[in-house]
Every structure is written in C-alpha cells, then in structure tokens.
Amino acid sequence: MATQIIGSTVKRREDPRLITGNGTYTDNMTLPRMAYLTILRSPHAHARIKKIDASKARAMPGVLAVYTGNDLKNGGVNPIPVGWVLPDIKIGPHYPLALDTARYTGDGIAAVVAIDRFTAQDALDLIDVDYEPLPVVVNAEKATQPGAPQLHPEAANNIAFYWKIGGGDVERALAEADGVIKQRLINQRLIPNAIEPRAALADYQPATGQLTLYNTNQNPHIIRLLLALVLGQPEHKLRIASPDVGGGFGSKIYLYADEVIACFASKQLGRPVKWTEERTENYKATIHGRDHVSDVQIAYKKDGTITGLKVKTYANQGAYLSVFAPLVPTFLYGPMLQGPYTIPNVFVEVYGTNTNTTPVDAYRGAGRPEATYLLERMVDLVALELKMDPADVRRKNIIPPFLNGVYQTCMAYAYDSGDYAGNLERALTNAGYVELRKQQAEARKQGKVVGIGISTYTEITGAAPAQVAASLGAAAALVESALVRVFPLGKVQVMTGSHAHGQGHETTFAQIVADQLGLEVEDVEVVHGDTDRIPYGAGTYGSRSQAVGGAAIYVATQRVIEKGKKLAAHMLEAAEADLVFEDGKYSVKGVPSKAVKFTDVALEAYWPRKVPADVELGLEATAVFNPSNFTFPDGTHVAMVEVDPDTGKVTITKYVCVDDVGKVINPMIVEGQIHGGIVQGVGQALWEGAVYDDNGQLLSGSMMDYALPIASYFPKFETSRNETPSPVNPLGAKGAGEAGTVASTAAVANAVMDALKPFGVKHIDMPLTSEKVWRAMNGKL
C-alpha cells in the first residue's frame, strides 16, 4: 500500500474548499476598519510630471489620504530592487509612485486611501496632474538607436544590460556550412492573465510595530525580504501571507509597487488598507512576458546536420527592470538555445532594453518558450530548405539517450537525464505521423490547407543550485526549505516554502510524506504561503516545486524517520542499526513481529515512557534542499492544423504529446499541468499579443481586445509521459509546470507554416491570426 502513494492519482485535497466557494483569495478578506487603496496611473506612456494637485481629492468626504511619489520617498520608501544582478547592469530606479517622470501607462502617479471602494475610485477623478508629454519608444530594438527617447539617465541608449554566451566556434561553423539560413523572428509580448487579479491587504499594528501583508503572491518569503528592504520594516516584524492565489504563471512572483503603497499607507494610517487590481489595470500594471526581436543564423550540412546557431536578441524589459527580469532573456534563454540537439557551436547575445511599456518578467516558461520557438522554427526552415521531412532533421540532430549520466551542452548547462530521441519517436508514433502525412497529401489534393508541426524541446527547471545561481547573478538563494512536524497522535504537518496556486501541492507534498511514513494522505497537512508558519522559502516558479520543494520535504521526512528510529530502538530494546522502517513500522531486521508503529513512536516522542532522559524528544525535522544541478524536462509535441483557405482561420485538429517531466508524484495533476500549459502556449501561437501604438498606449487593453483561449478553440489533447528520473534530487522529479507552454507554441506555429508551404510561405510572426495567414496565402504580407 504505502509505497504506491507516490506515482498514483490522488484526488486533490484543496478542491473541497474551492468547489464550494470557500477559497481564501486575498480580496475575500475583510478586516475591521479596513480602508481601500486605488492608484492613479499615468495616461501618458512618457511624461514629465509638472504638478500634482490633490487638494480636491483630499477634501472629498471619506478620503483618508492621498500620496504622491515624493510623499513615499520622504516617508523613507526605497526603490524596488532588482533581484538578478548581471555584471554591468544599469538599473534606473523604480519608485513605487513616479517621482517626476512617468515612464509607462501603468506608472502610478498618486494613491488614494478612502473608507470604501467607491470613494477611493471616485477620488481618483479629482486629482489634477499637469503632464508634459515626452517622446515615446515602445520597440526594444528602436530604443537602442541614436535619437531614441531616453528613459533612465543610468542606462545609455536604453540598454539596461548586454549579455552574451557561447560555446564552440560559431563563426567557423557559419563559414564552413553547406548552407546558412538567416531569419528575423519576433516573439511577441504576452499578458499573463492569471484569472485572479492581484490584491494586497496590509495590516499594520501601531502598538506592536507588526506589519502583515496578505498578498497574491507565489513566493512570500522573497516578498518579505524585498519589502523589508523597500520599506525599512524589520523582517522579524513583517509577515507575508499568500492564502489561496488564483493563478500566477509568473506574474505574481515579484514585489510590485501596489503592495508597497498599501503597506506604507497602513503604517501611516494605522489601519488595514486593501488594494484590489482591476483587470484593465492588470493589463498595464502587472508584468508582461516574452517580447523578443531576434536575428538568427543557422548553419547546416547537406545531410541536415545543424552545425551552428548565432542569435542576437533584443529583449524588451519595459519601463523598469522587474525583480527577476534580467534572468529571463539570459540564463533561462541563451544556454537553452542548443535545445535537445547536438549543435556544437552556439553564440547568443542579448540586449535588455528599457522602453515605455509595462515591465517584462518571467511568464510561464520564461525564456525557454522563446528559445524553443526560435530553435524549432529554424529547424523547420532547414528542413524546408533541404526538402527534408522535419522529423528527419530532428532525428539527425537529437541528443542520443543518456539515461544514467549527464549531457554537457556546448554552453553552461549539463542536462541531467533523458531520452530525447526516444520521446521524439514515441510522439511521432502516437500521432501516427506517417499516416498523418498521407492524410495531409490527400487533403491537399482536395484543396485543403493542412499542416503538421513538430516541436521537440528541452527546458530548464529546478532552480537552483544556490552557488551556481549566485555566480550567475542571483541576489537571493533559490534553495527550498521544509519542516516536517509529527504530532503526538501521529498526524503530520508539512511546512513548505513552495507556494501552490493551482499546482496541487497540498496533495502531492502530502503524498510524498505519506508514502514514506506509511500514513494515509489524509494524515498529512501541507502548510504553505505564510512566512510566520514556514521557516524559509523561495517560492514557486520555474517548475521548481517538486524538484526542489518536494525534494526538501523528502529529505526532511527521511530525517524524521531517522529520528524516530532512535526512539523506536529504545521502545523495541534493539540496536538502532538493526531496525528497518517499512510500511509505517519500525521492526527488527529479520524479526517482523518485533515492531512498533510509527504513530506509537510519535506518541513516545512527546510522552516518553521507555526512552531515556538523554534522548532528544519531539519528532520533527527541517531540511533545506540545495540541488546539485538544474533539471531538464523534455519531450515532443505534434500538432495538426487546418486552415480555412478563404479566411485564413486556423483550427487545431489534432494534438499529441509525449513529455518527460521526471518522476511523477500524481499523474492526474501532471496531466492537468500539461493541458493548461499547452493552451497557454497555443494562445501565443494563434491569438494572444499585447499591442502598443506608437504613443505607448496599450491597444489590447482589456479582455475585449486581448484574445484569450477559450474551450471551443481546442480539440482533445492526447498526452502521454515517459519518465526518466532526474538524478539531481531524491524524488527524481524534473518539473511539469511549464513544459506544455514551452513546447506547444512552436508545434502549432510549425504546423501552420507547414500548411502554408504550398503557398511558398517560409515564415510569419505570431500570433498567426486569420488575417496574417490569409495575407501570407495571398502574397499580401
């Protein structure tokens, strides 16, 4: 029984509260004397703030305070720091409310606190601001050109960082290749759209100096650290609680201006202050993702062998560097451009530039979808050029299986384990690839426009080996902690620094513990999202929860077992070394009848009868897991699409995938992660895109204009898995949260390009809207 809990489908324990409307999302919370915060944002993407007159707003009945940037600064509030510091990085300070210049339309100009939501909203209309509009730049490449408007004096030519990495000799590869393809690829800007907008409820107790922030956040401990620095609030008097969070996808990793202002206001006013984001506000004020412009060269031999890849990328960072922004287009992107292939020569250079747009940071996949899309498009272009089947080009270049070892790439990373080639074949077989190609040929004869796309990927998860991360620029260690506490009657609480906002940790983490201790899942309660209850944590992003957070729990549980063994030895009057722990019992090796149950040991730990006085009592253990390497999930996705020849509208007709996310704790949950990931990735391929006009106004400013995937846009996905355990952590887990998104964008984009092959179309940029596809088919690009 017990040993089967890991790897089996256990229904989620978080669901009973969520299906009955008892979720504890931040905006659901109400405290006595709670006031409401609203934020006036700049109508201009770039403007000097000449004067702010808030007198009418201040005079409005019910308004408790109006703050400006200078009020905050004079009140001791510091700029929001950047948590990933690359060498030579240029950081324009990001004050929670703009001081004298607004740099994007999400920039806060003033904040109102009032006794109710309505008053707080109405008062915004009474603040008069005198702006002097400044020239605007929204494009990451144009921002670097001479004469472009400058955002920060610190960053000349708006270049916040220049970064490069490489392996082998790419120039030689280009020179000696049979062929080189050059292509510009645009990876468009996306809006994360967690369905719960952000919210913050700050509660400062003047009598004790204790500040509590309830917040929609993926990593409360990191927020505590950052907030302590920004506010000067000592960290031992600062509690961050992230209760139920309605999705994150990266957008809720960072410390934002809004929660800083809520905390400041609560401290000033001595009463709780709540801020709830509106969706149209979210589109401006919450980070965006992607937004790369890349010039690519790929070198290949006649037989399809890829010999080199050279990439220059402009990565739009938006108006300010968000907390982890510099990490995303660098270490999560550049070294992953070798992908699942044996390409020996790669060079990548990246310009991270400031523009008058919403800051860009990690959004589901963060860097790896950009890398995978780029590489998979280029591989298909090689196939097109050589008139080879795209599957064959992949076969030619894919890394052979390395199940029990590492694969050293030509750049920084060494992949942990995998059967990339096998997964490619499995996916092609599951999709019936040969048959699909026949169907395609048949359909084309009938005038149909049908395409098949393949995306083979590997990505990087499990951040991070702390020392490696620190050497790469991490300002905070990304290890993970766990505390496993056994109560006298044998029930267990697990405190984890990971945070779940849909991933089901309360279930899978309980499975890990129950499995080892021989308990039922119901006996284990998982506590997350509260800095006062959990020793430390780095949170949830980058698909790290199982590989790092789960691993910490595993280790802590092992320590509990070891500790219990000492107690059991006394209870059984046997030597510790002679005991084994199995199925929830300590027993003497070879004498199964001489045994004591784990739950009895738990009682003994708190209520000693046989254990002598010098043995440490209590039964709990902590662990901090610092992995020896990252983990590298991989897989292959295959999509088939049909294009309406009259309108260009794309319909996905088939979707098949094989993913290796390492050892799976709960297949149902992993499958759900893959489904969700696929839809998000396909959203980028076909519909989604944040569009700014030249004045920096967000034209796709609401859900009316930003096309999110809905149920009727999809067929049923055929998912499957192939598990190669990661050697990096004791669970063998790699990471499942982003794989679907990393892979699916390129699969669908390649399928559409494949469909357009008879029209002589080689490449069009995403999103592949009906109009773009129609234009491509009709030579109207």
Partner 1 sequence: MAQLQITVNGVAYQHEVEPRLLLAQYLRDVLGLTGTNIGCDTSQCGACTVLLDGVAVKSCTVLALQANGSQVTTIEALKTNGNYHPLQQAFWDNHGLQCGFCTSGMILTAVDLLKRNPNPTEEEIRRGIEGNICRCTGYQNIVKAIQAAAAQMR
Partner 2 sequence: MIPPRFEYHAATSVMEAVGVLGQHKDAKILAGGHSILPAMKLRLAQPATLVDIGRIKELSRIIADANGTTIGAMTTHAMIAASNDIRQRLPALSKAAELIGDQQVRNRGTIGGSIAHADPAADYPAVLLALGAEMHAIQITGSRTIRASDFFVDLMTTALKSNELLVDVRIPALAPRSGSAYVKFPQPASRFALVGVCACVTLDDKGVCAKASIGITGACASARRATATESALLGKKLDAAIIQAAAAQAASGMDCLSDIHASAEYRAHLVTVMTARAIQAAVARVM
> Which residues contact partner 1 (rule: CB under 8 A)?
11-12, 14-23, 25, 27-28, 30, 117-118, 193-197, 244-247, 249, 278-280, 501-504, 668-669, 671-680, 702-704, 708, 710-712, 714, 716-717, 740
Contacting partner 2 within 120-139 (CB under 8 A): 121-122, 125
Maximum separation of any 2 CA atoms in the chain, in Å: 86
Q: Please state whether the peptide bond connecting residue 149 to the residue before it is cis, i.e. omega within 30 degrees of 0.
A: no
Whose Cβ is closer to ligand FES: residue 266's or residue 680's?
680
CB of 122 to partner 1, least distance (A): 10
- 204 interacts with partner 2 by CB under 8 A: no
Closest by CA to 377, choosing from 763, 773, 766, is 763
CB of 277 to ligand FES, least distance (A): 13
Closest by CA to 32, choosing from 240, 263, 273, is 273
CB of 744 to partner 2, least distance (A): 17
CB of 653 to partner 1, least distance (A): 13
677 binds, among ligand FES, partner 1, partner 2, none (CB under 5 to 8 A by kind): partner 1
Which DSSP state fits 698? B
Contacting ligand FES within 244-303 (CB under 6 A): 247
Distance of CA 212 to the CA centre of its chain: 25
Stretch that binds partner 2, among 118-126, 421-429, 517-525, 560-568 (CB under 8 A): 118-126
CB of 507 to partner 1, least distance (A): 10
Whose Cβ is closer to partner 2: residue 353's or residue 680's?
680
122 binds, among ligand FES, partner 2, partner 1, none (CB under 5 to 8 A by kind): partner 2
CB 326 within 8 A of CB 361: no
Element (H, E) at 386: helix 368-386
CB of 189 to partner 2, least distance (A): 13
Between CA 455 and CA 745 the distance in angstroms is 8
Closest by CA to 150, choosing from 162, 135, 161, 132, is 135
687 binds, among partner 2, ligand FES, partner 1, none (CB under 5 to 8 A by kind): partner 2
- 23 interacts with ligand FES by CB under 6 A: no
647 binds, among partner 1, ligand FES, partner 2, none (CB under 5 to 8 A by kind): partner 2
Angle, CA of 768, 388 and 297, to the nearest 5°: 60
Distance of CA 696 to the CA centre of its chain: 26
Which DSSP state fits 319? S
Whose Cβ is closer to partner 1: residue 41's or residue 772's?
41
- 195 interacts with ligand FES by CB under 6 A: yes
- 432 interacts with ligand FES by CB under 6 A: no
Between CA 280 and CA 44 the distance in angstroms is 16
CB of 668 to ligand FES, least distance (A): 14
Between CA 41 and CA 245 the distance in angstroms is 25
- 145 interacts with partner 2 by CB under 8 A: no
Dihedral of CA atoms 158, 160, 162, 165 in degrees, nearest 10, equals -140
Whose Cβ is closer to partner 2: residue 162's or residue 774's?
774
CB of 109 to partner 2, least distance (A): 17
CB of 11 to partner 1, least distance (A): 6
Beta-bridged to residue 314, according to DSSP, are 293, 351
Beta-bridged to residue 205, according to DSSP, are 210
Query: How far, CA to CA in Å, does 23 sit from each of 32, 268, 467, 769?
Result: 20, 30, 38, 37
Query: Nearest to ligand FES by Cβ — which residue?
Result: 195
Angle, CA of 605, 606 and 610, to the nearest 5°: 55
Whose Cβ is closer to partner 1: residue 17's or residue 164's?
17
Q: Which residues contact 775 (CB under 8 A, 6 or more apart)?
A: 648, 781
Number of residues engaging partner 2 in binding (CB under 8 A): 28
Reduced to 3 states (helix: H, G, I; strand: E, B; else coil), residue 336 is: helix
- 115 interacts with partner 2 by CB under 8 A: no
Number of residues engaging ligand FES in binding (CB under 6 A): 3
Q: Which residue has the tokens 């949830």?
A: 540
Among 705, 715, 758, 781, binds partner 2 (CB under 8 A): 705
Structure tokens that stand for 449 in this block: 């426009």
- For ligand FES, the binding residues (CB under 6 A) are 195, 247, 502
